[in-house]
Amino acid sequence: MPRLPPSLFRRARSISPHVATLLPACRDLDTARRELRWIREHACSVLSRSATLRARPPTAAHSSRSPRRRKPRGEQLGHRPGTGADGRGASRGKQQGEKRAELDRLVARLCRERGAGKPLQYVLGSQPFGPLEIACGPGVLIPRAETEAWTARVAAVVGEACAAGDALTVVDLCTGTGCVALLLHALLQRPGLRIRGVDVAPRAVALARRNLAAYAGAAATPPDVAFARADVFDPAAGLAALLPLPPPAAPDAWPRVDLLVANPPYIAPRDFARDTARAVRNWEPRLALVPPPVAGETWAGRAIYARLLDIAERTRARFALFEVGGAAQAHGVVRLARRRGDVEIEIWRDWPDAQPQDGEAQAVDVDGVALPVRGSGHIRSVFIRRDGAR
């Protein structure tokens, strides 16, 4: 990464010392100014929330959180001018000064963290994901815009294919923050919608549950969504852990699932070291990005996709969607899926609802069979429809 010129730092300092602190991470003045605005607004809302928490019982403050709308970033601390030279006015003035100093200290600390490379979402503590505000924290992957795009598309396809009254069971394997599971719930809303998300990382499951609590707090009726800890590779984890659903009648049978989705770790170790941004390498969990090495594996992620397809087959999933890291991996998943039976497959790009740009093919040949390729951008996911699922 090229070094920034000293003249840029001088200009940044002339705007605000915080802009200069943010510059190494933001790389240009406009971005630094924008992020400073967000950080200030976040700091204001943190302090006004903690003031509210001090004044009210904790439960009331918690249930007032709405995940559906980004909290207005312009929320200000309640500064009111002093009303005169009497004792009350002076003490109010002192309180305001203390509040302002507390705010300045918090903004300075958050800017230092961000300037040192901490991802903005970890600094602000959340990331919008469709209409939801998803809580984020170190140790759990930050939801990506491309993931949001396929989640919206898959909800539209499944919603269209199923009658409004159909009960639906959805499973999100490798759920992380729970962003995909919760957005699917928000978009597929219907009676009888049941969603389960699992992840091997206890921190991810704890954060997904926190996101669920915020989502449920704003919902009219309690959502039938649950998150559990399980390793998709671990047969000993048992069905109940992997798919925390009511057991089917036959003891060994797998529960039936309508839609199975997964954004598994899929980056090859060499690509992780060579191609990922420094902020990703330094801050986001490797477990979320790099699949475990498996002896004899011909391409990174083969074992985890094979396992996900195995689960899709056992649960007779009518629809499945797996995020992938490019064309080679997508073709690998297509080959694995075809070996498991008669399925219809589409490959989706980053923005599956966008018009393809010049040079973006709308079909691809995999082993002599043409497959549709939807949208624009990099190859991002493989969508599988089992025969008859229309």
Ligand X SMILES: C[S@@+](CC[C@H](N)C(=O)[O-])C[C@H]1O[C@@H](n2cnc3c(N)ncnc32)[C@H](O)[C@@H]1O
Note whether 38 binds ligand X by CB under 6 A.
no
Minimum distance of ligand X from residue 177's CB (angstroms): 6
Which of the 8 DSSP states describes residue 291?
P
Range list of β-strands (E), 54-167? 126-129, 132-135
Note whether 200 binds ligand X by CB under 6 A.
yes
Minimum distance of ligand X from residue 233's CB (angstroms): 5
The sign of the torsion formed by the CA atoms of 118, 123, 124, 127 equals positive
One of 143, 223, 325, 352 touching ligand X (CB under 6 A): 143
Rounded to a whole number of angstroms, the distance between the first and last alpha carbons of the chain is 49
Helix/strand/coil (H/E/C) assignment for every residue in 225-243: EEEEECCCCCHHHHHHHHC
Q: Around Cβ 296, how many Cβ atoms within 10 Å?
A: 6
Residue 347 phi/psi, 5-degree rounding, is -105, 135
Tell me whether residue 82 or residue 139 sits nearer to ligand X (CB atom): 139
Residue 150: closest CA among 48, 40, 263: 263
Tell me whether residue 16 or residue 276 sits nearer to ligand X (CB atom): 276
Note whether 171 binds ligand X by CB under 6 A.
no
One of 75, 102, 231, 297 touching ligand X (CB under 6 A): 231
Note whether 201 binds ligand X by CB under 6 A.
yes
Note whether 147 binds ligand X by CB under 6 A.
yes
Note whether 152 binds ligand X by CB under 6 A.
no
Supply 248's token pair.
């089917």
Closest residue by beta carbon to ligand X: 176
Site string for ligand X, 274-313 (x = CB under 6 A): -------------xx-------------------------
**Cα–Cα distance for residue pair 361/44, rounded to 1 Å:** 48
**Cα–Cα distance for residue pair 373/35, rounded to 1 Å:** 36
Minimum distance of ligand X from residue 231's CB (angstroms): 4
Minimum distance of ligand X from residue 311's CB (angstroms): 11
Which of the 8 DSSP states describes residue 68?
S
Q: Are 356 and 312 in contact (CB under 8 A)?
A: no
Bridge partners of 257, per DSSP, are none
Minimum distance of ligand X from residue 292's CB (angstroms): 7
Note whether 325 binds ligand X by CB under 6 A.
no
**Cα–Cα distance for residue pair 337/334, rounded to 1 Å:** 5
Note whether 183 binds ligand X by CB under 6 A.
no
Choose the stretch contacting ligand X; rule: CB under 6 A; options: 84-92, 171-179, 248-256, 309-317: 171-179
Note whether 119 binds ligand X by CB under 6 A.
no
Note whether 130 binds ligand X by CB under 6 A.
no
- Binding interface with ligand X (CB under 6 A): 141, 143, 147, 174-177, 179-180, 199-201, 204, 231-233, 263-265, 287-288
